[in-house]
Structure 1
Amino acid sequence: MPAGSRLETDVTLLATTLAGVVFGLALAAPPGPMNAIIAEESVVRGWSAGFWAGLGAMLADVLFFVLALLGVVAVIDHYPAVRPALYLAGGLLMLYFAVGAIGETRAATSFTDSGEVGSKGFRKTFALSLTNPYQIGFWLTVGVGLLESGTLDVFAHVPGVGDLLAGSLLVETGSPALLLGFFGGIAVWVVGYPAALSSAGRRVDALAPVIAALSAAVLAGFGVLFLAMGTMGLF
């Protein structure tokens, strides 16, 4: 291969990988139940607990990706009752975790780095991810398309900014580099988000109960929303 062609290929792969990183970060960063749990674990128990909570959600994404490639996730589309059931199960789990977060609000008077690996947060985010219709829907549509030839409008699928930034970053799909970058972006968030919150928690004692309270509110709000959507889907 000529040196010029090789350089062009390397630049294209790098650009595709970086676009995947941006995509992964953009999808991982918006506020929601997963980030609420990661935040609570980070400011109450330290970085390692927040990291493991983020890893639980990321592992679920990897699992969904594999199942989507095998065609298993697509079974949901053939059984209409499955999606409302997932909304109901996810809503109940979120309300249950919201009650726990309220307890953390009362108990957490300041930052405490317990040094534990945070398996509790890991189980929370993994369980919520498995019952999250939005996450499953992503892998049924956009996620599977990452390895199919075509074009992806990166920001069009990001909650909250899709309408504003749509068309600003287009990338060709069908390259493993894009998928590698995508999960790399999620990994950057899983590492960096808990680190920032843990660092802030060490400096401001009042941050722990405040974040725990906000986490409880987010979980309760999404829990009620999911229950409402699940109930409407059954009728």
Structure 2
Amino acid sequence: MLFLKAMLIGLCIAAPVGPIGMLCIQRSLSLGFRSGIATGLGAASADAFYGLLGALGFAGLVTAFPKGALTLQIAGGCFLVYLALTIVRGQSASRTSETDASPTGRYFLSTFLLTLSNPLTVLSFVAIFAAVGAAPTRTVGFGYFIPMVMVTGVFLGSLLWWLCLSGFTSALRTRVSMSMTRGIAKVSSLAISAIGIVQIVSGGYRLITGS
């Protein structure tokens, strides 16, 4: 039961369509399934990492070092703006078929680091763990077995969402025209850059004012 709850948590954390979801959709449409799932796998790995911190009770580190968290937020915002620019540049070229040379490793790493740029995620995991009755504690007699079950469930739940999203989107790839793909890429890049700018401005303001 705990494992299923953890999978549900991972699914709920991943499902809201934010900048990572837009990246996954855009890469699946433009480059195919492998590029899309590499993006999702990076996000799922970062979710599992923050889920582990939450399960082991490290949420206090986020509140203890607010300036560090805000710095990561600003860096993540800058990275989002950079990714938006790369999307626009990438769409200037013709859409090519997916090959073994596709930079899936780079997509995984960039998404992993981007997801890690929001350390407040660990607080979300703690809150959800508590809400579903899976309190993040190191249970006596079980050592770290329960936290690892929770983290594995979170990872698989998140990965399940990214598999569905990238698989469904890449299946539509042959039915979507080049002009429509470029239009979706432009909308995605605008939305991602807007999110990044808001993240930079809000993080910078809070860092300067200390609020």
Aligned to 2:156: 184
Instruction: State the aligned residue count.
Output: 195
Q: 2:195 aligns with which of 203, 207, 222?
A: 222
Distance 2:109 2:86 in 1: 14
Aligned to 1:38: 24
Q: Deviations over 1:179-223 (max 9, x none)?
A: 654433212112111111111112213343233223212210111
**Match status 1:88 vs 2:74:** yes
Query: Which of the two has higher C-alpha Rg?
Result: 1
Secondary structure, counterpart of 1:106 in structure 2? coil
Cα offset for 1:125?
0.8
Cα offset for 1:126?
0.8
Whether the aligned pair in 1 keeps the contact of 2:91 and 2:185 (CA below 8 Å) is yes
Deviates more, 1:70-79 or 1:97-106: 70-79
Cα offset for 1:130?
1.5
Distance 2:183 2:38 in 1: 21
Q: 1:122 aligns with which of 94, 108, 129?
A: 108
Deviates more, 1:17-26 or 1:174-183: 174-183
**Match status 1:58 vs 2:38:** no
Aligned to 1:200: 172
Aligned to 1:164: none
Aligned CA distance change for structure 1 residues 172 and 195 (closer, same or farther; 3 Å): same
Secondary structure, counterpart of 1:172 in structure 2? coil
Q: Which has the higher contact order (CA 8 A, sep 6+)?
A: 2
Distance 2:66 2:95 in 1: 46
Cα offset for 1:36?
1.6
Cα offset for 1:174?
4.8
Whether the aligned pair in 2 keeps the contact of 1:111 and 1:208 (CA below 8 Å) is no
Whether the aligned pair in 1 keeps the contact of 2:48 and 2:151 (CA below 8 Å) is no
Q: Partner letter of residue 166 of structure 2?
A: P
Percent of aligned positions that are identical = 25
When the two structures are superposed, what TM-score results if normalisation uses the length of structure 2? 0.79
Aligned to 1:157: none
Structure 1: unaligned runs, 5 residues or longer: 1-12, 153-170
Q: Partner letter of residue 99 of structure 2?
A: S
Secondary structure, counterpart of 2:92 in structure 1? helix
Aligned CA distance change for structure 1 residues 62 and 25 (closer, same or farther; 3 Å): closer
Cα offset for 1:57?
0.8
Cα offset for 1:123?
1.7
Structure 2: unaligned runs, 5 residues or longer: 137-145
Aligned to 1:138: 124
Distance 2:14 2:177 in 1: 27
When the two structures are superposed, what TM-score results if normalisation uses the length of structure 1? 0.72
